[in-house]
Structure formats: C-alpha cells, structure tokens
Amino acid sequence: MKVHSFLSLGCADGPGVRSVLFLQGCCLKCAYCHNPDTWFLPGFTEISSREIAERVAKYRPYYGKTGGLTVSGGEPLIQAEELTELFSLLSEMKIHRAIDTSGFCPSLSSGVLSRLLSVTGLVICDIKFSDDAGYQRYCNAPQGAFERIMSFLSSVQDAGCDIWIRHVVLPGITDNIEYISSVFERALAFKSLKRFELLPFRTLCRQKYESLGIEFPMKDTPDCTQEKIQQLYGQIKAGFPAGRDKIP
C-alpha cells in the first residue's frame, strides 16, 4: 500500500482508542485541506497489507472493546483493493476497522466497493458542502461530485456499515445555522448514521503549504472557535430534536 504515515494511538478518528493509517493520494484538492502532503504520489512508502496488519496487531491491547484501526488519507478509497486485503486480515484478528473518507473516488467500481464494505465496520465521511456548487468551488471537484458522494453513502448504508458524518465549519462560508442544518438534514437521511460531528477550521497547516511551495487558498481565513462549534451544536439540537442523539 502507498502509505503516508502511521499514528500508533489516538482517540480523535473513530470510536475508542485507535491507530490511524494515512494513505497517499487524493481525488480532490480542498481549499482548506490539512494534509496537502498526501496529495501527491511521490514520497510515499510502500508497505504490504500483511506488514501493516502485523504492526496494527501489536497495539491490540490498547484498543479495548471499541477501538481498532482507522484508515485515512489522502483518500483511502483510491487503494480500495489493498484496503480490502488489509481489512480482511484485521477482521480475522477481530480488530475493528474504519475508513475516514471524502466519499469521492470516481475510479472505484461498485464491485470493488462492495467487497471493501463487506469487511468494514464504520465509514466516517466528511460532507464538505451540501451541494455541488460548494464542491466545485472549494474542492476542485467535477460536476456531479456531491451526488456521487450521496450515492456512495447509500451503498455504505445498504452494506450495513455504521456511518459517522463530519463537517469542517468554515468561517464566512458554512458557519451559519442555515448551512449547517442543510448538511445535518442530508446526514440524517442515512438510517445508519451514528454520529454527526462539526470540526473547526484551523490554519495550523499553513507551514505545510509553505514548505511544499503551494498557495494555501484560505490562509487569511480566521480559525473557527470552539464557542462557535458549541453554538451551532446547540442550534441544531434545538431545531432537530429527533436528531439529537447523533450529536456528541
């Protein structure tokens, strides 16, 4: 597999204590991406699925009942076949498996996706915008990307995997309750939705862009505050009483 990096233990990317494997390569170029160093294929480390599974198994005592491995990126779906191999090995070891994805990977066939989902427990999907225009403007996505992502999530639901939806709140763009409600409404349409999370936009990644010599399109946008996130959660809870249990 084309690996960017491996985080031994963390608790921010899925349930419980987890290892996180970051894969190289992505199908989008989001204006606020925190990992621009995963966009390009040169510079990756090639590691076999079996080697990764053996490394993950060493951390098993820390995972407890709910933890396991989350595969993030970049875009993990680009390497769906290798990922299926890895997840099959982890499934035999009874280690929980999650994918953190944008849900957008045009080259992915339905057969390959279906095999991957059959060995996946949880899909964490970042819904970046609630319409195609946002994806085209801020993610360099082609026309129709949003509907492809919705269709991907329908496949995830049909395969019986749990779904978490995340949204990065962008000051001046999506940091208002009308916009967040439109994202939450789309998320609630999926019956296997278990969690809806708002993440604050941060400019911490500015140095990464500088060192890569890439323009950071949102370098002048202020960070989103935790107060703003809490305010938006409160407004969603007030406006969607039936969806409260999905919000942390």
Interface with ligand SF4 (CB under 6 A): 26, 28-30, 33, 35, 38, 73-75, 102
Residues 57 and 43: beta-carbon distance below 8 Å:
no
Smallest distance from ligand SF4 to CB 185, Å: 22
Q: Which residues, other chains included, contact 119 with Cβ-Cβ below 8 Å and sequence gap of 6+?
A: 84, 87, 88, 90, 91, 97
Beta carbon of residue 50, minimum distance to ligand SF4 (angstroms, whole number): 26
Please, which residue, 29 or 60, has the CB nearer to ligand SF4? 29
Report the distance separating Cα 207 and Cα 214, nearest Å.
10
d(CA 114, CA 69): 20
Q: Which is nearer to ligand SF4, 30 or 86 (CB)?
A: 30
**Distance between CA 189 and CA 156 in Å, rounded?**
13
Q: DSSP of 146-188, one letter per residue? A: HHHHHHHHHHHHHTT-EEEEEEEE-TTTT-SHHHHHHHHHHHH
| Residue closer to ligand SF4 (CB basis): 117 or 127 | 127
Closest by CA to 66, choosing from 91, 95, 43, 44, is 95
Q: Select 30 or 71, whichever has its Cβ closest to ligand SF4.
A: 30
Shortest Å distance, C-beta 140 to ligand SF4: 8
Minimum distance, C-beta of residue 64 to ligand SF4, in the bound complex (Å)? 28
**Which sign, positive or negative, has the C-alpha torsion 11, 15, 21, 24?**
negative
- CA 232, 235, 240, 242 dihedral sign is positive
User: At closest approach, how far in Å is the CB of 26 from ligand SF4?
Assistant: 3
- Residue 34 Cα to chain centre, angstroms: 12
CB-nearer residue toward ligand SF4: 167 or 195: 167
| Share of the chain residues as helix, strand and coil, in percent rounded to the nearest 5 | 40, 20, 40
Closer residue to ligand SF4 in complex, CB, 150/177? 150
The minimum distance between CB 146 and ligand SF4, in angstroms, equals: 13
Nearer to ligand SF4, 29 or 55 (CB): 29
Tell me the closest approach of the beta carbon of residue 18 to ligand SF4, in angstroms: 18
161 touches 101 (CB < 8 A): no
